Structure formats: structure tokens, C-alpha cells
Structure 1
Amino acid sequence: MVGGVAERLARVRGRIAAAEAAAGREPGSVRLLLATKTLDVATVREAVLADAAATATTAGHARRVLLGENRVQELVAKAPDLADLAPELHLIGPLQSNKVNAALRWATCVQSVDSPVLAERLARRCADTDRVLDVLVQVNVSGEPTKHGVAPGDALDLVRAVAGLDRLRLRGFMTVGANSPDEREVRAGYAALRDLRDKVVDSGEPGTAGAVELSMGMSRDLEAAVAEGATVVRVGTAVFGARPAPPVPA
């Protein structure tokens, strides 16, 4: 992929700005989350510094850079070496109950809450450490078996369960779009998540008023996500290039 991290980052921010304009969205209404799966700390630091500089230039003030890790072990390994840059660290991949303690040492938000069992485990750990955790409910809008998330038909029950836990702050919803070349299919999934969000926020049920975030859209389809209301797009490849292939077991 042509260009360095800063140059590619600028191109992605240009895509987001163009998508906001095309959708009639307020400039700056969509946040960029840098998905840093498999990347070394030096590359992540380069991206954080470049993004902080770009944000300060365009907005007139520094805004905390948003980073997302798919795996708890990578989050734990990288976070100490990023602490001086003070990014927001989100867990965007599946979380097993036995890794909750490790994740919560560093994560400011867990975007992948997909069951009452996980929500309750997070809430108990937060009570033990006297903190409140931002969370998103992950919904599998495409129904693809390879994707994580609660089924759309079960999402409202999970929302009520999460909203009823004192130590969790429900901030919205996350999904991975359909793996399809048909933009209409992709957008339909994103529109369904937006409609779910609106239904939840308008319900007036306790703990749901702040559930406004929509984390959806990645490198290949961020424009479709912005058009359907995304407030966060998760971008890795378009900024960092293709990930190296995993090592072949001996």
C-alpha cells in the first residue's frame, strides 16, 4: 500500500469527511478507531502521534486517539508502552470470561458484549475494583455464523440486562457488516443496527438514554456505515496496510 502511516491516515480521514458531507452529517461527528491487531508497538505509537497531530490541526485541540484491539493478550502486551500517549483503549474482539480481569486492567470500553453472562462478569469485576465501564452490545446483523454478536431478535433482552447492571454504562452498539459485494445488503445491516439503537434510546427504559454510539464500518465499507449513521468506524488495513500472514505451525 502506497505511503506511510501518516499519509494513509490522512487519506482515511479524508474519506470519512467526504462520507459525512455526502450523508449530510455534521463534520467531525464520526470518530476514527485505529484497529491495531497484530501490529508492533512502534507502528501503533507512530499512528497515535500522527492522529493526535492531525486532530489538533483540524479541530484546534487534541482529542484522545481511539485504539481497538481484537485480542486481550495483545491489549495487555501493548498498553503499558502506550500509556504515556493516553489513548482510549477499546476491546473490539470477543472476550472470554476468564480474561475479563486482564482486559479490565487496560480497556476503557468493551465493544463486544454479546451475552448476559459476560455482562454480569464484567459488572462483578468492576464492583471489585470500584469502577464503571463503558460497554457496547455487539449485534450480528448479518447472521453470518463466522461473526460474533447477539442475534438481532435477542438484542433487546440483552440490552435490558446490561442496562440493569450498575457498574456498566451502556454507550451503544457494535457490529461487523455483511461480507458481501452488494452495498445494499451491507447498508441494510447497518440501517437495522441504527433502528435498534433508536428504538432503545427512545424507549425511556432506565440505563438506555446514553446508548447512542454505533461502532460499524471498516476499511472496505466505512462510507456505507457513515451513510447509515455510524458514530465510530474501525479502520486497520487502510491505515496500516495488509496484516502479515500468521506463522505456520511447525
Structure 2
Amino acid sequence: MPAESQSSTPQRPATGPSAAEPPATGPGSVAARLAVVRDRIAAAAGAAGRDPGEVRLLVATKTQPPQAVLEALAAGVDLIGENRVQELVAKAPAVADRLAAGALEVHMIGHLQRNKINQVLATATGLETLDSLDLAQAISDRCVRDGRTGDRALDVMVQVNVTGEESKSGVEPDAAGALATAVAALPGLRLTGFMTIGAHLDSAAEHTVRAGFARLRAVRDEVRASSAQGTETATELSMGMTGDLELAIAEGATIVRVGTAVFGRRPTP
């Protein structure tokens, strides 16, 4: 989806590797790590009796420099996610060409404040962390103002807190259906599904983590079964990360968000 019409077109950096260059392929390279992650996804899908093509890989680029992002793109990545608005803005020039060509999707996967909506709309093709109707209405108003409707509408997911942890954002599962139905009816927004952050495997048993993912799937299925306006496109389940992607895929994930397994330990901000 193209960037916001009122924003200026970012310029590509004069230095650094081109996204068209072949990726480095050494054992510690981004390309090599990506191959391992893709194998994990394929194996998990196969074990669940699913087609690996049903699961997309979102590469989370939090704290990564533009050069590392370009290495991932050169290795075939077509979906990336940013947690912080300032990083989304800083990396926009490096990915501008691919965005303009429709060869890349960029999702905002961190909390969004209302005063930063314009910055996100200038680059992001999707927002996975919608958790209130007030925020949805504000984004809808901006999209309508800028003519970002119809085929140019912003893809959005409702974030659901399936663990009940206060440290995690998201609407409660019991309230997610009503929010999603309201969001789906807003102009300028296209409801594509639901997102969650699962319980940490280090502190929870596998069955607890899986139960959270299964709850998100149930939320999606309930919303789609309602046949409410705009809910027919709500097919996505963005859940599962480096440590628990296999469990998420077993419970129906259509997008897994992976950063550490692709780039290694994050550098200190």
C-alpha cells in the first residue's frame, strides 16, 4: 500500500548495501538465519497438518540498523515490523523504493500514540496494535482526510491481551469482538485480523502458551462468524515469536513475528 499522499518521498541513503545486492550467505549471516527460521516454520506447519504457505514471516527490525534490514530484504523478506515510531521514520528512506513498488509491507507492531499517527501513516502499510475505539476513530479520520480509503485503506489488527498481564497491551478477549466489529465499520480502515503476545515460555508451561493462542483464534472465528460489515477480511492471526512460533503455528498463526532468530541478540539502543 502506498505511503500517505501528503508526505514527501523519502530519498534512499547514498551509502550502504542496495536491496538489489545478493545477501551475504555465511553461517552467521542474516540470510543463513532466515533459512533456519523458514525451515522451522515449514516443519511446524507440516507437524500441524498445514500448508507452510499459510504462514507468513514478519521480520521484527527493532533496534536494527538500515543495513541489517536491507540484508533481510535482499534475502527475500517482504514483511517487516517496527516497534517504535522513531525507528520506523528513520528507516523509511532505506525501504522507500520497495514500498513504492508494492514489494514490501511494513507493519507497526508497537504501541501507537495518537500524536504520532501521521508519522506512522507516512510509511506503514499496516498496524497490528489497535486496542481502543478512540485510537481507531482518530486513525480513520486521518485516513479519510488524506484520501486513504477503498483500496488504499490502512490494514489494521486488533491487539488482544490473552494472558491478562498488566505489562502487556491489548483489549481483553471478551471485549475484542465488539471492538473489532466497530473498527471494521470505520472508513479508511481494513480489519485484517488479530494480534497477541503470548505468555513467556520461561515462566509458563507450553499448554498455557498454546491456550492463549487458541483463545485468539476463537476470537477471530467468533468475529468472522458474526458476518458484521467489514469482518470478512479478518483472517489473520499474528502470534508467535522466536521462542514460541511452533506453538503459535500449531494453533493457527498466519503471521509469526521473528527478530532475534534472524538478527541475533538485539544491540543496546
What is the CA-CA distance between 1:153 and the residue it aligns to? Answer: 1.7
- Identify the residue that residue 128 of structure 1 maps to in structure 2: 145
Most deviating of 207-216 and 178-187:
178-187
2:125 to 103, 108, 131: 108
User: SS at 1:82's partner residue?
Assistant: helix
Are residues 1:141 and 2:162 paired?
Answer: yes
- Identify the residue that residue 225 of structure 1 maps to in structure 2: 248
User: SS at 2:170's partner residue?
Assistant: coil
CA contact (8 A) 1:32 1:234 kept: yes
- Identify the residue that residue 39 of structure 2 maps to in structure 1: 14
CA contact (8 A) 1:97 1:121 kept: yes
Give the TM-score of the pair, scaled to structure 1.
0.91
Are residues 1:81 and 2:94 paired?
Answer: yes
CA contact (8 A) 1:90 1:109 kept: yes
1:234 to 251, 254, 257: 257
1:45-91 CA-to-partner distances (Å, cap 9, x unmatched) read 00111125xxxxxxxxxxxx000000111101101211123321100
**How many corresponding residue pairs?**
233
Unaligned residue ranges in structure 2 (runs of 5+): 1-26
1:155 to 161, 164, 176: 176
What is the CA-CA distance between 1:164 and the residue it aligns to? Answer: 1.7
- Identify the residue that residue 208 of structure 1 maps to in structure 2: 231
1:107-157 CA-to-partner distances (Å, cap 9, x unmatched) read 100000000011001100000111111100000000111111111121122
CA contact (8 A) 1:9 1:51 kept: no
2:72 to 29, 43, 47: 47
Once residues 244 and 112 of structure 1 are traced to their aligned partners in structure 2, the CA distance between those partners, rounded to angstroms, is 24
What is the CA-CA distance between 1:163 and the residue it aligns to? Answer: 1.3
What is the CA-CA distance between 1:165 and the residue it aligns to? Answer: 0.4
Instruction: Supply the RMSD in Å over aligned alpha carbons.
Output: 1.0
- Identify the residue that residue 198 of structure 1 maps to in structure 2: 221
User: SS at 1:171's partner residue?
Assistant: strand
What is the CA-CA distance between 1:98 and the residue it aligns to? Answer: 0.4
Once residues 146 and 249 of structure 2 are traced to their aligned partners in structure 1, the CA distance between those partners, rounded to angstroms, is 36
Once residues 21 and 156 of structure 1 are traced to their aligned partners in structure 2, the CA distance between those partners, rounded to angstroms, is 30
What is the CA-CA distance between 1:180 and the residue it aligns to? Answer: 3.3
Unaligned residue ranges in structure 1 (runs of 5+): 53-64
Most deviating of 142-151 and 82-91:
82-91
Once residues 245 and 200 of structure 1 are traced to their aligned partners in structure 2, the CA distance between those partners, rounded to angstroms, is 40
Once residues 111 and 153 of structure 1 are traced to their aligned partners in structure 2, the CA distance between those partners, rounded to angstroms, is 18
2:201 to 180, 185, 190: 180
Once residues 179 and 228 of structure 1 are traced to their aligned partners in structure 2, the CA distance between those partners, rounded to angstroms, is 16
Give the TM-score of the pair, scaled to structure 2.
0.85
Once residues 233 and 97 of structure 2 are traced to their aligned partners in structure 1, the CA distance between those partners, rounded to angstroms, is 29
Once residues 200 and 158 of structure 1 are traced to their aligned partners in structure 2, the CA distance between those partners, rounded to angstroms, is 10
- Identify the residue that residue 59 of structure 1 maps to in structure 2: none
What is the CA-CA distance between 1:27 and the residue it aligns to? Answer: 2.6
1:162-212 CA-to-partner distances (Å, cap 9, x unmatched) read 012021110000000012331100000000000110111111111101101
- Identify the residue that residue 62 of structure 1 maps to in structure 2: none
